[in-house]
Every structure is written in C-alpha cells, then in structure tokens.
Structure 1
Amino acid sequence: MCDFDSNPFADPDFSNPFQDPSVIQVTRSAPPGGLEEYNPFRHARTAGPGNAAKSTPAPSQNTQPAIMKPTEEPPAYSQPRNQDQARAQAELLRRQEELERKAAELDHRERELQSHGAAGRKNNWPPLPQMFPVGPCFYHDIAVDVPIEFQKTVKIMYNLWIFHAGTLFVNMFGCLAWFSVDGSHGVDFGLAILWFLLFTPCSFVCWYRPLYGAFRSDSSFRFFIFFFVYICQFGVHVLQAIGITGWGTCGWIAALTSLNSSIPVGIIMLLVAALFTALSVGSLIMFKKVHALYRTTGASFEKAQQEFATGVMSNKTVQTAAANAAASVASNAARGAFKPHP
C-alpha cells in the first residue's frame, strides 16, 4: 500500500514533460495573445514540395447571405396569364362600377317617383302658360323616365324633332317669299302652312312618344311602331328635300326654279332645302343608331305580339265590347233554340 501513497513527481528519476525541448519551442513560438487567440489558419499553408505558397484572401467585412440569382427569364407563357388576370380584374371593376351606377339611378328614380307620385304626376308638355285655356297633354322628363344608358339617344331624338318642327316653320316663310314674287305659287304657301300644323304634332305623337315609351318600359311593340312610322317620316323628308313644285316645300327643285324669278328668294329657298337635306341625313343616322340599340335590348317580333295581345286583352273597353258581343250571341242562340217550329 505504501507504493500507492508515494508521490511519483518526487522521484528524482522522473522527467518533467513540460521541460521537454520540443514543448518549450512550441510554447515560445506561440503568438503574443496566448493559445486562446491562436488561429493556425491565419497564416499561409505550408506548400507541398515543388509548389509555391498561396495566400488565403481575408474574408470580407460586409458579410451577406448568399442569394441565388436566376440565370433564366420566366417562361413566356406566364406573362399572357398575368395580362389575362389583369384584364379580368379590370372587367370585374368595370361591371361593379356599372352596377353601382345603375343602383344609384334606380334610387334616384325611386325618389323622384315618391316625391311626385306615380299616379299624381302632372303633365308638363307642351310647356304652356297657366293662363292658356288648354293645359299640357303629356308628362315628359327624360332624366326620370329613361335609363341613363339611353338618355343621350332620347335627347338627340327630341332635339331632332325640334329641328324638324323648326324646318317646317322656316319652310312657311320660304314659300311665302316665293309666293310674293310669283303669284302662281299660292298653293305651295297654303300647303306649307298645312304641313307645319299637321306634321309637327303628328310627328311627336306618332314616332317620338313611341320611342320615348319604348326606352322607358323596354317595350318591343312601341319599338315596332316607331320603326314603321319613322320609315314613312324619312320618306317624307326625302321628298321635302327634293322640293317638287306644287307640294308646298322649298326643296332643291323649287329653289333652283325660283332663282329665275328672284335671286334673294332663291337663296332663302336654297337654305331651306339645305335644312331638309340635313334633316334627312340626321334621320337616317339616328334610325340606324336606334335600331342598333333595339337589338341590344333583347326585343323581338314575338315579344311585340305578346305585348300587343296582353295590352288588348287588358283594355277595359275591349273587355266590355267582348262581353257585350258574347252576351248578344248567347241571347240570339237562346232565342233561336226556343223559337217554335211551324
């Protein structure tokens, strides 16, 4: 047991390992900061035999994470897909704005109807003074009755009707001037007055009011009435622009003829002929435009027939007449049945 209690470092034959020359050389060659701060990779590596020593570059101070950059552009098919998505989104936004606009329009029309009352709306056309013995005959308000997308077209047609009435009014003065220089054209002056008094109210009632009602209630039957009457009106405009002598219009033929009698009167009649020509061209353009809008509303001839049948059968006058006719037929049949045979 005494061998285990002895101190091996006290033996004079024991050699201290830290006193070894190789260890002392390594400790002396250590950096000044000590072994804790020693970095063996800071210095250049020992090159192998036959190779020169290579210096290791110092690391950069601004270290950033490595980011891989794409070496190729995204495929071409991804760009049209993004464009389609953008177009679809723009279309949805446009439809949303249109729905909001229509909702605002319906609210406005509802407020107008509530303020005036659907049954208590007073007629306001023609705008006659209160002291006039005859009152207005129609209710006319494009901003209230006609949807927003059709208001511009209806306003143009209303202005075209005003232009038509104004042209007929000027035509009277043209024929009067013609009659003043040539007494044989009194018939033209009389017919010019008749055309103004006849065509002005008839055109408003026969083609403008059906157009107004067609856009107001989306009525196929009223559209067909407008197309039928307006085609006839366009034919009358063409004849008035031609100006056949004795028909009561200052057209091109009548204006050129009047130049032989009086140049000032001929110039006036040429201006009237130009107005009739402009009226014909404007009527043709608006007819095509209204027909294009009519096709977008989904109207059809079958729908017009249904509206006509429904309107006729719901009319109280027609119902009363049908009931009276049925009653008379039944009474006649009963009399014939109970009549004694000879």
Structure 2
Amino acid sequence: MAERVNNFPPLPRFAPRFLKPCFYQNVEEEIPPPHRQLVRRVYNLWILYSATLCVNVVSCIAWWAGGGSGVNFGLSLLWLILFSPCSYTCWFRPLYKAFRADSSFNFMAFFFVCFLQCVLVIIQAVGISGWGACGWIATVMFFSYNVGSAVVMLFSALLFSLVAVLMVLALYRVHRLYRGGGGSMQRAQEEWSSGAWKSASAREAGFNAISVSGPSLPQYPAAVPSYPESGPW
C-alpha cells in the first residue's frame, strides 16, 4: 500500500516548511460509498460552523462599535480560535474514523462531543450578553440602541440557529444509522477495553483491506453491525 501523506488542513505554498498538514483525509478513498454523502454533509456542517464563528467576530465588532462591550469581541475571537479546530478534531474526525474503520468507540465519541457542541451552539444562538455571541436576545435588544449594528448582528443569530438545527439533524441521522446497524454502548466499551480503537495493526489491516478490495469497509466478525445505506436527511 502506498504511503499516505497528510493533506489536511491544506496549507498555502508560502507556508513555512515546519508547518505541515496534521491529517490524511480522502472521502472517496477511505469511506464506503453508501456513507460518503453523509460524511461530506457533516464536513460541510463543520465548515458552516467555522464560517459562522468568523461572521460572529464581525458581528461583535459591529456590536462593540455601536456601543456594546468589547469583552464580546474578545470572546468571539477566542471562540473562533478555539472551536474551529477543536470541532474538527473532536467530532468530525471521530465520525470520519468511525465510518472508515467501523468503530463503535469513535461513534460514541462523535455522539458525546457533537451533542455538547450542539448545546453550546444553542446557547450562542440564544445570545446571552457577555458570552461573545451575537444571538437573538442580544440582537433584538440592540435594535433600540443602534439599528445598523443590530442588522449586522442578525446574521450571526440566523447562522447560529441554522447550525444548531443542522447539528440536531446530523446527530439524529448518524444515530439512526448506527443503531440500525446493531451498534451499542457495549461494543464501544469492548473496543475501549481491548484497545482495538487505537491499535495500529488493526488500522493497517483495515487500510490494506480498502486498498485491495476498493473503497469498502474492512472485514469484521459477524457481531459487528453492517450499517444500512444512507438515505436523505
């Protein structure tokens, strides 16, 4: 099998040599065909959330310029720097590895972290003042102070609401797919106890199976669920 070179995140050519991509990501090569569309949609959801955090920074600048607190701008910048990469590594990446290697442990990691992220996004959509998020409460209340700033803030409130709804749909879709294939917490605990979730030999065997037989899930015992094909959201 040809050596895989990390390709994500893509870096510009002028980036210093010591900066290199951290992950290898290739949906066409590593994800079974029935699940590629779902994985792409969750990836696009991560991109949308990162873009929402960028818009939120701009909205907090408008909030500050209109007479709001500068603390919100500082926190919005912190959320962008913190949650944009962490959301990729903590809930999209486990989902990617779960479909790539049929890993119950990674499915559980996705459910747990994505659920917490969804709760946080709902709080950001609500828009409590002083939390660094231009949600509905902060936006509606600011219309009486500065209409121009409030209109800019409205974009963040709408995007946070959209992201929250899509996260709920993603959790529901993946959970239904996982449970429909016979997945359970017990299987995740067994993977944790046996160390199969971090076994280099198991991952290598899985990659070899993919490279030999094409983009399909590696062979597992009969107890491992065969996930049904992805349907519409």
TM-score (norm 2): 0.81
Partner in structure 2 of residue 129 of structure 1: 12
Partner in structure 1 of residue 40 of structure 2: 155
Aligned with 1:294 (options 160, 178, 183):
178
Q: Are 1:138 and 2:23 matched, yes or no?
A: yes
- CA-CA distance at 1:258 after TM superposition: 1.6
What aligned pairs does 1:237-276 form with structure 2 within 5 A after superposition? Answer: 237-276=121-160
Change (3 A) 1:129 1:290: same
Question: Contact 1:219–1:299 (CA<8 Å) still a contact in 2?
Answer: no
Give the counterpart letter for 2:114 in structure 1.
Y
User: Identity over aligned residues, as a percent?
Assistant: 43
- CA-CA distance at 1:271 after TM superposition: 1.8
Counterpart Cα distance in 2 of 1:236 and 1:299: 27
- CA-CA distance at 1:313 after TM superposition: 10
Partner in structure 1 of residue 228 of structure 2: none
Give the counterpart letter for 1:261 in structure 2.
Y
What aligned pairs does 1:323-342 form with structure 2 within 5 A after superposition? Answer: none
Gap regions ≥5 residues in structure 1: 1-113, 317-342
Question: Contact 2:7–2:22 (CA<8 Å) still a contact in 1?
Answer: yes
Partner in structure 2 of residue 224 of structure 1: 108
Instruction: Deviation per CA, 1:9-39: give whole Å up to 9, x if none.
Output: xxxxxxxxxxxxxxxxxxxxxxxxxxxxxxx
Give the counterpart letter for 2:6 in structure 1.
N
Q: Report the 3-state secondary structure (helix = DSSP H, G, I; strand = E; otherwise coil) of the residue aligned with 1:140.
A: coil
Change (3 A) 1:258 1:212: same
- CA-CA distance at 1:163 after TM superposition: 0.2
Instruction: Deviation per CA, 1:131-165: give whole Å up to 9, x if none.
Output: 31211000011111100010010000000000000
Q: Are 1:176 and 2:61 matched, yes or no?
A: yes
- CA-CA distance at 1:295 after TM superposition: 1.2
Q: Report the 3-state secondary structure (helix = DSSP H, G, I; strand = E; otherwise coil) of the residue aligned with 1:130.
A: coil
Partner in structure 1 of residue 208 of structure 2: none
Q: Max radius of gyration: which structure?
A: 1
Counterpart Cα distance in 2 of 1:169 and 1:310: 41
Gap regions ≥5 residues in structure 2: 201-233
Counterpart Cα distance in 2 of 1:239 and 1:122: 38
Q: Cα RMSD (Å) of the superposition?
A: 1.6
Aligned with 1:196 (options 80, 86, 92):
80
Structure possessing the higher relative contact order (Cα contacts under 8 Å, 6 or more residues apart):
2
Q: Report the 3-state secondary structure (helix = DSSP H, G, I; strand = E; otherwise coil) of the residue aligned with 1:137.
A: coil
Q: Are 1:212 and 2:96 matched, yes or no?
A: yes
Q: Report the 3-state secondary structure (helix = DSSP H, G, I; strand = E; otherwise coil) of the residue aligned with 1:275.
A: helix
Question: Contact 1:241–1:277 (CA<8 Å) still a contact in 2?
Answer: yes
Question: Contact 2:105–2:197 (CA<8 Å) still a contact in 1?
Answer: no
Question: Contact 1:218–1:297 (CA<8 Å) still a contact in 2?
Answer: no
Moved more, 272-281 or 298-307: 298-307
Counterpart Cα distance in 2 of 1:204 and 1:219: 18
Give the counterpart letter for 2:148 in structure 1.
P
Give the counterpart letter for 2:28 in structure 1.
A
- CA-CA distance at 1:261 after TM superposition: 1.9
